[in-house]
Each structure stands twice: as structure tokens, then as C-alpha cells.
């Protein structure tokens, strides 16, 4: 305290931190700051005791806390809160992001997010770090790598899912296909055929027939590629196929099959497998794993007789001797089927398309899809008419009674095709000429046969005798009444005799009566013999020596 005439001073200091000096009395106004401590407390109790008396306890705010003092206790707001802790709602949240404190601050490039009683820091987009101590700009290459990594992981997962799904689907399809093949195999009589083949194993007359799988024939035909088609008819399509051993085969895929006749189909396959005739297309096996059974035959390379007859260039190479050889070989097959096979077989679809030729013009009869087995002690079969227009037996067409003479009629049409080079049925010709069989009979009766014979065979005078016999034979085969037609055995013998004994019709004296009747009241045909205006009923077959014809080998 200073006391003089002008004024007096008084001050309070912390005695522990202050040393009195006389200079303070003369120059107090310029004195340095003096240490002062103001210490106070709420009550004289400590916090633990004060909390027990809830009425007198001074820390009212929920966000406050009590701490002991040397003289008692005091109240303070919790960290993150500010205000008066002695009031009920006195301590309020501090928004550190609006009014940042030195101790509460996010670093540069970080975003502050206020929370109740605290705050958080996050780095801005394109920056990485914790937001409190670092926020560094992302490296572009690293970002691209991360993108590639994400894409790679996603693609890998997708590929794995696709592979698993594909494998599962493929396995399901294979199982489904396997079950379907087994179903078709049983429906098509596979078990029956296997049993019959096992019973015949070791038999001397049994030929090996293979049961092919669907996969084998699928590969052999390149998935039944249309470029592999070598023939197509009313009963199915024929494909050229290559087996594993490079063996070339013909695979016939039928259009339809009657499930009620599976047993008969299997029987036919089995019987055909036993045929070992040099002029029959050999059946190598079958496949029963498809909806419609597939038949596998040996492949004949030179096409069909129809192609050779109705192509001008190819027809010119077919001499009469070749044509008669083809006719004799075909007749020999039919004779074998009718007389030597057991049970007998009626082909039912003999036509030039179903007669194949190899490179040496050897005939090979094919397509037994319409064939019928003749039950024992039965000469005819009641059945729906089946065959090809132009070749169909008119008697069979009217009565539905199928006999071996139906094959004789169809063969007669083929014989006329060989003589004329004309198609069996052609709607482009005039009405009276559309049916070759009817036009041929009409031409014979009217004495104009020369007009329809193929120029390639009538130009040679040495063919006259052969032509005469064949013409008469064809006429007999085309008789409207089946009983008046010769058997195929007789036809085969006649043709074979004609090939072995040239001009046999002119070498026997007993033929003179026939020649006189042929030459009586006739018009010339232009190659040394004549026909009457009426049908010739000379039985040229019985007027020859019947020669033995080997039906099989």
C-alpha cells in the first residue's frame, strides 16, 4: 500500500510467488504483472461425499464431472462440451468443425464431421490417409491397378460361375441324352436284337452285324451334314459316312417307323444280316439309339441304275450286254429272296433308283425299308399298299394282297427302263405315254416298239435276237394278272440263259413255230423281226433250257 499526499495503492498477491521491494512504492504503475491466485471451491466436502447428497450436489449438468479441490470440490464440463456445469443443461456440445480448437483440428485435405461430444476427420475424394495425421493424393496408376484388380476379381468370379454352370448343364444334358438313347434303344428293339444275335453266335451261316452307337454315326457323317447326302427317297435319306477305320459306308436314316412293328423290323434286320449275296448291298449293322433306327450298308461308288439310264452321256456307255447283265443280276437277287431265303422276302420297292452299280457295272440291290417277310405256308400278305408309283403292281394296288409276283411286275418295269432309257413315270410326257409300263404294252400291241427303244442298243444288228427275247420277257412280267406272270426264278434263269447262249431263240428247232407266229401278218420293226397287232403270248421262258443260277455265295 502506498500512502502519500496524492493517493494510496493496495494489491493482493500470491505470497509464495512474490518478493516485496521498495521500488514498487515509487514506481508501481510501471511494475510488471503481479502474481495473483484466486482459489475457490463449492462446499468443503470432496466429490465422493458431495455426490451422496443429491440435493446439495452442485454438478447439475449431465455432461459435467466433479473433481476435488484443496478446499472442497468443483464442477467442469466434459471434453467436447462447454458451458456452465452447475446448470442442468449448462454443458452443451462444442462444434469443433465450426469453431476448431488448437487441440481439435483436422489436417489439410481432410473433412471434419462433428459428432456429439467429439468429431471425426476423413480424407477428401482422391486422397488417402486417416484424416488426422495424413491425407495424400491417390496415385493414378495405383487407382487404375485397383480398378483392374476389381475387374479381374469380378471376371474371375463370373468365369468360375459360368464354368460351374456350364459343367452342370453339360452333365445334365449328357445324362438326359444318355437316358434318351437308352429309351430309344429299348423302344427300337435293341434288347431283342442283342438276344437273337447272342443265340446265333458261332453259327456257320451267321454274318457279323454290328450295333453302332449314335455318336459313332454322328461323327461318321459329320453331324449328318447335308453335303454327305448321296440319296433320298420316300422312306429315308442315305448319307455317306467314314468310320474310324476309314471304311466308307452308306448310312440310311429312315423317315418314320411304326412302333407296333418293331419286332418285325428287328426280324428283317436280322434276316438281312444273314443274306450273303454278291448282288445285294451288304448290311453291316444298325443303330437303335436314335428316335428312328439307322441302317449301315457297304458303300457302292458308281451311283444308281436310274442315274446311268437317264443321263445321255452315261447311257451311251451302257451297252445291251451291260444292261442285260444288270437285269440278270437283279433278277437273281429277287429269285434268291423269294426262293432261297428263309423266311422268304418280298422286296416291295424294286426300281432303278434302288439298284446300285459298282465300277464294273455289277448290280447291287438296296433299300429293304419296305420289304416284307412272308410267313411260313403263306403266299400272300394283306397289307397297306406301299411302293413307288410307276412300279406298283396294279393287282396289289387294287386288292391290297402282296405276293412275290408284285416284285415280278416292278422288275418288269425296270426291264422296260433298260430297254427304252425312259423314266417309269413322267408327267411331262403326253397322257398316253406317262406310264412307261402301259405305253410299252401299247407299243408292242400296235407294232411301234422300235419308236420307244433306246437308240444306244437298237443301232447294233447283233442285238436283235437278245432284244426280242427280253421284250417278250418284259411283257410277261407286266401281265395284269399276277398268276400269269413268271416267277423270279424263271425270269432269272431266262436272262442268265440269254447271256450264256447268244441268240438261243434262233438255235432250237422248236422255236420255229414261235417265229412263224411272230412273223405272221406283221409290220416290220426295222431290225429283222416283226410283231403282230395283238399281244404276243409266246412263253419264251419255258422254251429254253433252264440253267442253274447261283442265288448266293
Residue 510, all three cell numbers: 422248236
CA distances from 104 to 95, 122, 128 (A): 10, 14, 20
Q: Strand 64-68 vs strand 73-77: parallel, antiparallel, or unpaired?
A: antiparallel
For residues 393 and 424, the answer to whether their CB atoms sit within 8 Å is no
Cα–Cα distance for residue pair 440/505, rounded to 1 Å: 22
Cα–Cα distance for residue pair 348/370, rounded to 1 Å: 6
Residue 253 marked in a binding site: yes
Q: Which is the catalytic residue, given 349, 367, 393, 407?
A: 349
Cα–Cα distance for residue pair 267/262, rounded to 1 Å: 8
Residue 167, all three cell numbers: 459343367
Cα–Cα distance for residue pair 385/392, rounded to 1 Å: 9
The DSSP secondary-structure symbol of 451 reads G
For residues 449 and 426, the answer to whether their CB atoms sit within 8 Å is no
- Residue 321: active-site member: no
Please give the backbone phi and psi of residue 109, each rounded to the nearest 5 degrees, phi first. Answer: 70, 15
Q: What are the CB-based long-range contacts (under 8 Å, 24+) for 460-465? A: 460/320, 461/527, 461/528, 463/320, 463/527, 464/527, 464/528, 464/529, 465/502, 465/503, 465/504, 465/505, 465/506
For residues 209 and 276, the answer to whether their CB atoms sit within 8 Å is no
Cα–Cα distance for residue pair 199/221, rounded to 1 Å: 32
Q: What are the CB-based long-range contacts (under 8 Å, 24+) for 439-447? A: 440/416, 440/474, 440/475, 440/478, 441/475, 441/478, 441/535, 444/471, 444/475, 444/531, 444/535, 444/536, 445/533, 445/534, 445/535, 446/533, 447/522, 447/523, 447/525, 447/530, 447/531, 447/532, 447/533
The DSSP secondary-structure symbol of 503 reads T
**Residue 299: which of 352, 364, 214 has the closest Cα?**
364
- Residues in binding site for ATP: 253
Catalytic site residues? 349
Binding site, by residue number, is 253
Amino acid at each position: 500500500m502506498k500512502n502519500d499526499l496524492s493517493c494510496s495503492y493496495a494489491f493482493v498477491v500470491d505470497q509464495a510467488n512474490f518478493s516485496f521491494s521498495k521500488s514498487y512504492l515509487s514506481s508501481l504503475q510501471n511494475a510488471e504483472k503481479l502474481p495473483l491466485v484466486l482459489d475457490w471451491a463449492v462446499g468443503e466436502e470432496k466429490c465422493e461425499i458431495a455426490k451422496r447428497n443429491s440435493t446439495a450436489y452442485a454438478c447439475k449438468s449431465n455432461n459435467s464431472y466433479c473433481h476435488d479441490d484443496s478446499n472442497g470440490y468443483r464442477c467442469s464440463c466434459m471434453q467436447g462440451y462447454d458451458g456452465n456445469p452447475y446448470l442442468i443443461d449448462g454443458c452443451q456440445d462444442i462444434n469443433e468443425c465450426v469453431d476448431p480448437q488448437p487441440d481439435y483440428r483436422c489436417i489439410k485435405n481432410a473433412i471434419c464431421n462433428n459428432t456429439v461430444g467429439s468429431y471425426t476427420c476423413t480424407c477428401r475424394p482422391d486422397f488417402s490417409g486417416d484424416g488426422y495425421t495424413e491425407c495424400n493424393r491417390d496415385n493414378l496408376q495405383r487407382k487404375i491397378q485397383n480398378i483392374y484388380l476389381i475387374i479381374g476379381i469380378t471376371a474371375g468370379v463370373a468365369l468360375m460361375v459360368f464354368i460351374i454352370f456350364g459343367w452342370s448343364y453339360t452333365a445334365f444334358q449328357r445324362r438326359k441324352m444318355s437316358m434318351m438313347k437308352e429309351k430309344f434303344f429299348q423302344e427300337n428293339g435293341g434288347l431283342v436284337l442283342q438276344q437273337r444275335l447272342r443265340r446265333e453266335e458261332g453259327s456257320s451261316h451267321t454274318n457279323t452285324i454290328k450295333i453302332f452307337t449314335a455318336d459313332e454315326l454322328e461323327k461318321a457323317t459329320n453331324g449328318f451334314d447335308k453335303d454327305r447326302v448321296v440319296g433320298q427317297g420316300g422312306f429315308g435319306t442315305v448319307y455317306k459316312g467314314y468310320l474310324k477305320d476309314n471304311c466308307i459306308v452308306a448310312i440310311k436314316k429312315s423317315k418314320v417307323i411304326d412302333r407296333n412293328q418293331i419286332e418285325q423290323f428287328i426280324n428283317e434286320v436280322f434276316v438281312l444280316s444273314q443274306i450273303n449275296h454278291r448282288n445285294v448291298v451288304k448290311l453291316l449293322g444298325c443303330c437303335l439309339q436314335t428316335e428312328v433306327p439307322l441302317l449301315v450298308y457297304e458303300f457302292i461308288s458308281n451311283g444308281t441304275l436310274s442315274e446311268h439310264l437317264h443321263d445321255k452321256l452315261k447311257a451311251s456307255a451302257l451297252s445291251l450286254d451291260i444292261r442285260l447283265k444288270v437285269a440278270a443280276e437283279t433278277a437273281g437277287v429277287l429269285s434268291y429272296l423269294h426262293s432261297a431265303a428263309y423266311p422268304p422276302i418280298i422286296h416291295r420297292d424294286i426300281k432303278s433308283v434302288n439298284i446300285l452299280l459298282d465300277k464294273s457295272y455289277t448290280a447291287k440291290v438296296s433299300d429293304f425299308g419296305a420289304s416284307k417277310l412272308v410267313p411260313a405256308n403263306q403266299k400272300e400278305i394283306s397289307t397297306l399298299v406301299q411302293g413307288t408309283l410307276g412300279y406298283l403292281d396294279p393287282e396289289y394296288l387294287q386288292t391290297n394282297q402282296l405276293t412275290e409276283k408284285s416284285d415280278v411286275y416292278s422288275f418288269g418295269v425296270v426291264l422296260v427302263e433298260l430297254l427304252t432309257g425312259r423314266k417309269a413315270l413322267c408327267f411331262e410326257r403326253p397322257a398316253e405315254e406317262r406310264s412307261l409300263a402301259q405305253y410299252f404294252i401299247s407299243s408292242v400291241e400296235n407294232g411301234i416298239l422300235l419308236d420307244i427303244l433306246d437308240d444306244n442298243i437298237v443301232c447294233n444288228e447283233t442285238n436283235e435276237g437278245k432284244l426280242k427275247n427280253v421284250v417278250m420277257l418284259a411283257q410277261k412280267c407286266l401281265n395284269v394278272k399276277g398268276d400269269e406272270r413268271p416267277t423270279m426264278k424263271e425270269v432269272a434263269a431266262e436272262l442268265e440263259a440269254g447271256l450264256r447262249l447268244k441268240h438261243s431263240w434262233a438255235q432250237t428247232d422248236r422255236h420255229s413255230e414261235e417265229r412263224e407266229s411272230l412273223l405272221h401278218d406283221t409290220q416290220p420293226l426295222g431290225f429283222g423281226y416283226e410283231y403282230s397287232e395283238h399281244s404276243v403270248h409266246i412263253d419264251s421262258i419255258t422254251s429254253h433250257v433252264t440253267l442253274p443260277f447261283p442265288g448266293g455265295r
